[in-house]
Amino acid sequence: MTKPLGPYTPVVRAGEWVVTSGQIAPDAGDVAAQTSQALSQLRNLLESEGASLADVVKATVFLVDMADFEAMNAAYAAAFGDHRPARTTIAVAALPAGAQVEVEAWAHLGR
């Protein structure tokens, strides 16, 4: 598990809900590689609480440059496969540690 950059908990379970903090991977390479690594970290966090990417019902993706949307989207689709949770993609001015993409998620158990 990646050490948090601040005073927060990377994953919290609240009853049937599992919520992750935003995951970044600034050293992973380009946006596609950063997205893949961030989603791998997110997967590990979910699994630590008994959930999986298949349980994600809502994801939020933060992008520094919307020109990278296609590359992010391809890596995101590869990680989620046929599962399509609700998602919002937001352009931001900057992300921590120079990351180009950040992904957070809400998963629901007990469905």
Sign of CA dihedral 26, 30, 32, 37: negative
In sequence order, what are the beta bridge partners of 88? 60
Does residue 4 carry a pLDDT above 90? no
Does residue 1 carry a pLDDT above 60? no
The Cα 78–Cα 6 span in angstroms is 29
Domains of the chain in start order, with CATH, are 11-108 (3.30.1330.40)
Residue-level pLDDT at 34: 98
Mean pLDDT of 70-97: 98
Tokens 């590869």 sit on residue: 78
Token representation of residue 13? 């379970």
Residue-level pLDDT at 111: 63
Q: Categorize the per-residue pLDDT at 7 as very low, low, confident or very high, splitting at 50, 70 and 90.
A: confident
pTM confidence score: 0.94
Q: Quick: pLDDT tens for 26-76.
A: 999 999 999 999 999 999 999 999 999 999 999 999 999 999 999 999 999
In sequence order, what are the beta bridge partners of 91? 63
